[in-house]
Amino acid sequence: MKLLSGRKLSQIIACISICIGLIVCIGWLLDIPILKSIIPNAVTMKFSTSISFIFSGIAIYFLSKYTEGKTNIAKIVIPISSLVVFLFMTTLLTAYIFGKTSGIEQLFIKESSDAIKTSLPGMPSFATIVNFILIIVGIFAFFESRLKKLFTPIGYAISTIGIISIIGYGVNQPILYYYIDNVSTAMAIHTSFLFTSLGIALILSRNNITVQHGESVKIYTKILSLFLASSVIPIIFVIGLNFNILESVPNNESIKISMIIISISTIITVIIFSSITARSISKPIISLKNVAMQISKGNFSIKANESGSDEISELSKTFNDMIGNIKMKEVLHMEIEKLKHVNEEQRQYELETELKKISDLKKALDESSIVDITDKEGTIIDVNKKFEKISKYTRNQLLGQNHRILKSGFHTPEFYEDMWNTITQGKVWQRDVKNRARDGTYYWVKTTIVPFLGKDGKPEQYIAIRTDITNQKLLERRLESLLENLKTIDMEKEEFAAMVSHELKTPLIPISGYAELFLDGSLGNITKIQREKIHVMYENSILLTTLIQDILDAQKIELKRLNLDIRTESIKEITKRCIDIFSPIAEQKGIKIVDETQDMMISGDPDRILQVLNNIISNAIKFVPIQYGTITINSRNDNDAVMISVKDNGIGIPKSKQKDLFKKFYQIDKSLTRKSGGTGLGLAISRGIIEAHGGEIWVESKENYWTTVNFTIQKGNSK
């Protein structure tokens, strides 16, 4: 409030100054004496003084406005007002210096009668001129930082000069109100008051100055003042020269007027030229400064005016280049920032995705497995729900405990040693482990321990993932014992078979042997009846021996313990051996056995293949008609095997029964058995033998006409 009122006061004083100036001005123009002197019969205020007061008032008023921040009008008005005052005062000062009147003071009026005599009519006192010049200087000091310190003293000086004049009137000393006979007129009393007030107003206008954009005027003011200052002395000389010319031709009115016009036009020309020059120099600089200010606020789109070819336009160009660089850097910087931001966002997104994945995985793990985490000493630091459930410990009971508390004692120390050796090397360890729960029951877990490595590559923690395999283990155990039992049974069977083979066959040897000796007469003559009966004994003992051998073979096949002595041999060799065996009985029955096989090499156990052939032929012999029977053995290539066929012209086999032919103890006609002999195992054994060789055996037959038994055996490498 105080500051505001100071500024307001200065504005009020300025307004009073303008008002009084106007009143006096009107007084002079209309020739009203009371308005000229305000106080009747007192010293008048000169016309030039009144004009100067008006303009000084205007200047100071706007100076105060400028301080408030309203700079737009002030920027124009202040220099103009100041210049008008400056113009008047310079002319008047010249008049004083040369002691001649220029006539400017009586430009609009004619001062005829004066209450107080003056050396020159219409001239203000010397002190008045000095004061006005001080005001102008003060206004320049306002804008000029280097003269800032002078501003307040100038204000005081102006007031002091006014006060001295007032005092002069008070004590009636003309010298104090600057009256010097024939040299200087007196300063009017109201002029003195106005100066006193204006000095204060000038000081107050400066109060708490906050010039922000003042700099834009400053350079212009500076240049202008520089020009004016440098032109003051020439002007004074020009005017002075005019005065002297006027002096030499005293009564020529026309010359007098033309001289006045020359003087004024000189001053005006100087002022206009100065203003334009100052403006042309300061304008680009100011605009450059404005651009710089805009840029400093971050507005890079603006550009300095580069027109012209002087140093300032060069500066503008350089400035623009610089701005261009800065702009580019700024843009680059912004782009980098943007990229950084994008990168940051991307990383953040990836991190979040990764985290989600991990938490999903953990959830899946927790749902499916028994999980716990231990430190490198094996102290439990985390367990999941499933772990609690299987171990029957609560989480709180487990945390901080060594994992050892779950040891069942089932595994050897080496088992655990192996575990520690593996995981301390940072490797994954996987085994089935038996653990003991809190209630003393045992459980089996398939355990995988994964070490978490620290930055030094050494394990810091271990995560153990387990699955409950207690039931599986139980089943395994049961299965193992079952298998063990089965093996024992198999072995017993085999032992039994070996025993049977030896113990049953041995008693038959003397029976059949002696029977044979009786029959061939080695033991003396026997009757016909005796021979018949001994023959029955012999036949049956042979049958029994064959049966025992067949049962043993069938069992071997069933147990898949048929050991084959694989050799390469010609099929012809085998058929020859077979025919040798059967030719006696065939001859006896009048049956023909025809060998049509070729000399083909087969790969197999010759004894076993012979056994197959024997079985087939002994069957055939049973079913072919006596005297007319024919058995033909044939062989041919069948890809990488040899197919052997035994064809007979026997009774044939019904189609429906061909499938069952190879079953154990299968006989088409039970009644035939007794008649033809045989164990019913022959074809089953044959099939077992052929299949063990990787071959096939099958039957083709036409009932009442023929039967063919075919089998295949791997081809052998010919010798």
Partner 1 sequence: MKNILIIDDNKDITELYKIILESAGHKCITVNDGKGGLEALQTKSFDLTLLDLAMPGMSGIDVLDIIKNEPNLKSSRILVITASAPQDVEIKRIKKEYGVLDVVKKPINKVKLLQIVEMY
Nearer to partner 1, 372 or 605 (CB): 605
Residue pair 14/21 in contact by the 8 Å Cβ criterion: no
> Exposed, middle or buried: residue 642 (CB in 10 Å: 0-12, 13-18, 19+)?
buried
Angle formed at CA 177 by CA 62 and CA 235, multiple of 5 degrees = 60
Q: How many residues bind partner 1 (CB under 8 A)?
A: 24
Least CB distance to partner 1 at residue 522 (A): 5
Whether the Cβ atoms of residue 281 and residue 223 lie closer than 8 Å to each other: yes
Nearer to partner 1 (CB atom), residue 556 or residue 647: 556
**Closer by beta carbon to partner 1, 207 or else 603:** 603
Cα separations in angstroms, 462 against 404, 424, 456, 672: 14, 9, 15, 78
Which CB, 351 or 498, lies closer to partner 1? 498
Q: Which is nearer to partner 1, 96 or 538 (CB)?
A: 538
Instruction: List, in order, residues 6 or more apart from 500 with CB less than 8 Å away.
Output: 548, 551, 552
Q: Nearest distance from residue 682's CB to partner 1, in Å?
A: 18
Structure tokens at 614: 């024997």
Cα-Cα-Cα-Cα torsion 566, 570, 572, 576, nearest 10 degrees, comes to -50
Strand 592-595, strand 630-638: pairing: parallel
Taking CB under 8 A as the binding criterion, the range among 184-192, 518-526, 622-630, 710-718 that sits at the site for partner 1 is: 518-526
Is residue 520 part of the contact set for partner 1 (CB under 8 A)? yes
Q: Does 517 bind partner 1 (CB under 8 A)?
A: yes
Compute the distance between CA of residue 228 and CA of residue 274 in angstroms, rounded to an integer.
Answer: 7
Residue range at the interface with partner 1 (CB under 8 A); choices 96-104, 346-354, 449-457, 512-520: 512-520
* Residue 513 in the binding site for partner 1 (CB under 8 A): yes
Tell me whether residue 542 or residue 699 sits nearer to partner 1 (CB atom). 542
Q: For residue 588, state whether it binds partner 1 (rule: CB under 8 A).
A: no
Please report how close the Cβ of residue 563 comes to partner 1 at its closest, in angstroms. Answer: 5
CB atoms under 10 Å from CB of 711, counted, come to 24
Closer Cβ to partner 1, 418 or 516, answer by number: 516
Q: How far is the CB of 716 from partner 1 (least distance, A)?
A: 18
The 472-511 site mask, x for binding partner 1 (CB under 8 A), equals -------------------------xx--xx--xx-xxx-
Quick one: 514 or 698, whose CB is closer to partner 1? Answer: 514
Tokens of 677: 């002999």
Cα(197)–Cα(199) distance, integer angstroms: 5
Alpha helices in 249-384 (DSSP H): 253-296, 311-368
Helix (H) or strand (E) holding 446: strand 442-453
CA distances from 478 to 200, 217, 482, 484 (A): 121, 109, 6, 10
Written as six digits, the tokens of 603 are 């790969």
Residue among 307 and 522 whose Cβ is closer to partner 1: 522
Least spacing, CB of residue 539 vs partner 1, in Å: 13
Q: How far is the CB of 718 from partner 1 (least distance, A)?
A: 24
Q: Are strands 641-648 and 630-638 parallel, antiparallel or unpaired?
A: antiparallel
Instruction: Give least dist CB 515 to partner 1, A.
Output: 10
Smallest gap from residue 633 Cβ to partner 1 (A): 23
> How far apart are CB 542 and partner 1 at their closest, in Å?
8
Mention every residue, 6+ apart, whose C-beta is less than 8 A from residue 580.
none
Query: Based on CB atoms, which residue is closest to partner 1, 502 or 675?
Result: 502
**Interface with partner 1 in residues 59-88 (CB under 8 A):** none
Backbone φ, ψ for residue 696 (5° rounding): -125, 155
- Between 497 and 641, whose beta carbon lies closer to partner 1? 497
Nearer to partner 1, 32 or 523 (CB): 523
605 binds partner 1 per the rule CB under 8 A: yes
- Alpha-carbon distance of 669 to 665, in angstroms, equals 12
Cβ at position 514, least distance to partner 1 in Å: 6
Stretch that binds partner 1, among 325-333, 425-433, 474-482, 516-524 (CB under 8 A): 516-524
Of 64 and 512, CB closest to partner 1: 512
Burial category of 125 from C-beta neighbours within 10 Å (exposed 0-12, middle 13-18, buried 19 and up): buried
- Count of CB atoms within 10 A of residue 299's CB? 10
For residue 510, the minimal CB distance to partner 1 (Å) is 4
> Which of 112, 210, 307, 522 lies at the binding interface for partner 1 (CB under 8 A)?
522
| Least distance between partner 1 and beta carbon 668 (Å) | 29
Q: Phi, psi (5° rounding) for residue 119? A: -70, -40
Q: Angle at Cα 191 formed by Cα 185 and Cα 195, nearest 5°?
A: 120
Considering the complex, state which of residue 302 and residue 511 has its C-beta at the smaller distance from partner 1: 511
642, 580, 588, 564: which is closest to 617 by C-alpha?
580
The tokens for 483 are: 């298998």
How many residues belong to the chain? 719
Which of helix, strand or coil describes residue 667?
coil
Strand partners, 602: 569, 715
Distance of CA 447 to the CA centre of its chain: 37
Strand, coil or helix: what is 429?
strand
Shortest distance, CB of residue 507 to partner 1, whole angstroms? 8
> From residue 259 to residue 298, what is the string marking binding to partner 1 with x (rule CB under 8 A)?
----------------------------------------
Q: Smallest distance from the beta carbon of 485 to partner 1, in angstroms?
A: 24
| Residue 535-574 contact track with partner 1, rule CB under 8 A, x = bound | ----------x------x----------xxx---------
Q: Partners of 444 in the beta sheet?
A: 434
Residue 253 contacts partner 1 per CB under 8 A: no
Cβ closer to partner 1: 545 or 614? 545
Q: Which amino acid is at 461?
A: Q
Residue 576 Cβ, how far from partner 1 at the closest point, in Å? 16
Binding mask 607-626 for partner 1 (x = CB under 8 A): x-------------------
86-115 residues near partner 1, rule: CB under 8 A: none
Question: Residues interacting with partner 1, by CB under 8 A?
Answer: 497-498, 501-502, 505-506, 508-510, 512-514, 516-517, 520, 522-523, 545, 552, 563-565, 605, 607
